Amino acid sequence: MRKKKQVIYSADWLAIHPYKTSATDLYYVKLSNRIFDAIEAVLDNTPFENDILALTEDEKKRLSCTLTAYFEDVISQTNIFVAFRTENKKRTGKPIPFFDCSDYEEDEINTQDIQFLIWHYYMQLNGTEIPFSPLNPLFSEMAKSVMTILDEEYETAPENKKLQEFFNIPDDIKQNIQALHTYIFWLGTESYLFQENGIFLQTDAEEIAEIAQNDNMEEQIPDMINMMCNDFTYNHVTEFHALRPSQWLARVLGKDNCLYQPLNELSRKYSGYFKYESENSTHTKFIHIATGKEIDIVNRSLHGFPKDMKDKELVLFIGFVRWMDEWWFIGQVRSYNQSNEIKKEVDNEEELHLFDDSYEPTEKEQTALFNKIMSIMAEDGPDYTDEDRAWGTMMNRDISKNFIKKAFEEGHLPKLNFEGETNNQLMKDNLNFILDYMKR
């Protein structure tokens, strides 16, 4: 038999790891290549009516690394999938959504886990525009084929000590949210569970860089990308149970870890226009210009803060988070002289509501939008099915979870369904999970 060529290399594997190299990398790279071959064989033997399920070589490589990293996570007991499973069980009574879990083995590898991760990968790959069924026969065949390989390796696979060490956070940085940024950002953008978010973020960063270059603002690109990544770390809501990356890190570390509660309660980042007011030995006071809200920033978070910006005449664009009952400066600061242009920025609607909870349109407004979306899509031609129109309302971010749930339960969305399913029972049984997955 002809030897299969290697398609996955160390660089591909390390792209979803938080270190430069590990003694176990060679083993898992080889395993990733075996999984790649298994996935490719299933795809090659599957007749497609259209190409929405086909994968490019790069996409097959990422999926193979994702499933191998899940296996490594279980073997190394680094608790990434354990955190997801535990949270899902707490909310739904089941370790994972969608599947029959009567034969599910906790703390082991499971075919259901693999099939769920394949579904999640396809959903993210297509920007959630296609409501793939988790029970799609292709996903099932892939999962069975991959499980056969992983089952063979289960007893002899090595633990990744480097990955274990990563989650053993040093005591001297546990109270410093700025130092913990690396851990939160990696989990939310490069870990196998959330790596597609990192790819989307990279695409956004490249687009911003291109716009800046076209506007002759090349020198500002590093600061702009830094701010984007910083905002993502603290404000992004993941697709799983509407939790942010910091809250997932808390769950990976576990409830017995002293960081569990602080990470779980870490606020979002508030970025806006402020003025410096005063300082003492422990705190520096800033005032939010639009609302007059005073923020006392702990001084140990201001190391490196430009002294010349502590000027009451300047307008500062600055960001803070609430961490361990203190306000911390996060990211970068920009200063502006008083002007009519900056006054417009300071007085805009977003600034006035900086500290408010997220805004949700009224039920009347959402009803009008719901009806408008359905009618616009209906006029676009016969290519749109009732299922397409129903999913279109699910994708719209201005229509809330509660509105969709009520509409579904009252029978106004009878065709809200996964692709290929003959009825919407699977959607009904997992509606809360899907609403969190889609609307965040």
pLDDT surpasses 60 at 292: yes
Q: How confident is the model at residue 3 (pLDDT cuts 50, 70, 90)?
A: low
40 and 183 share one domain: no
Q: In this predicted model, what pLDDT tens digit does every residue of 248-278 receive, in sequence order?
A: 999 999 999 999 999 999 999 999 999 999 9
With beta carbons less than 8 A apart as the criterion, state whether 377 and 346 touch. no
377 and 240 share one domain: no
Largest CA distance in the chain: 76
pLDDT at 1: 41
181 and 295 share one domain: no
Show which of 118, 141, 163 is a domain's final residue. Answer: 163
Q: Domain for residue 1, yes or no? A: no
What letter would DSSP give residue 4? Answer: P
pLDDT at 20: 93
pLDDT surpasses 70 at 203: yes
15 and 156 share one domain: yes
C-alpha span between 58 and 39 (Å, rounded): 13
Where in the sequence is the domain holding 222, given as residue range(s)? 172-264
400 and 422 share one domain: yes
182 and 154 share one domain: no
Q: In this predicted model, what pLDDT tens digit does every residue of 148-172 receive, in sequence order?
A: 999 999 999 999 999 999 999 999 9
Q: 179: part of which helix (H) or strand (E)? A: helix 177-189
Question: What is the SS3 assignment for 290?
Answer: coil
pLDDT surpasses 70 at 378: no
Categorise residue 249: left if φ over 0, alpha if ψ from -120 to 50, beta otherwise: alpha
Q: Which residue has the higher pLDDT, 349 or 286?
A: 286
Q: Hey, what are 373's tokens? A: 């979306």
Handedness of CA 159, 58, 198, 46 (dihedral sign): negative
260 and 283 share one domain: no
What letter would DSSP give residue 269? Answer: P
Neighbours of 45 (CB within 10 A): 8
With beta carbons less than 8 A apart as the criterion, state whether 129 and 392 touch. no
133 and 198 share one domain: no
β-strand partners of 296 = 285
41 and 120 share one domain: yes
With beta carbons less than 8 A apart as the criterion, state whether 349 and 364 touch. no
In angstroms and rounded to an integer, the radius of gyration of the C-alpha atoms of the chain is 24
CATH code, domain with 327: 2.40.50
pLDDT at 84: 98
C-alpha span between 330 and 436 (Å, rounded): 27
C-alpha span between 9 and 410 (Å, rounded): 52
pLDDT at 2: 46
Q: What is the mean pLDDT of residues 194-209?
A: 89
pLDDT surpasses 70 at 380: no
Show which of 122, 140, 163 is a domain's final residue. Answer: 163
Show which of 323, 352, 381 is a domain's final residue. Answer: 352
pLDDT at 233: 96
288 and 413 share one domain: no
C-alpha span between 120 and 197 (Å, rounded): 12
Question: What is the SS3 assignment for 284?
Answer: strand
Q: Which residue has the higher pLDDT, 225 or 41?
A: 41
254 and 277 share one domain: no
Q: Hey, what are 217's tokens? A: 């603002």
pLDDT surpasses 60 at 77: yes
Number of domains into which the chain is organized: 4
Q: Which residue has the higher pLDDT, 213 or 427?
A: 427
Least confident of 54-58, 224-228, 381-385, 408-412: 381-385
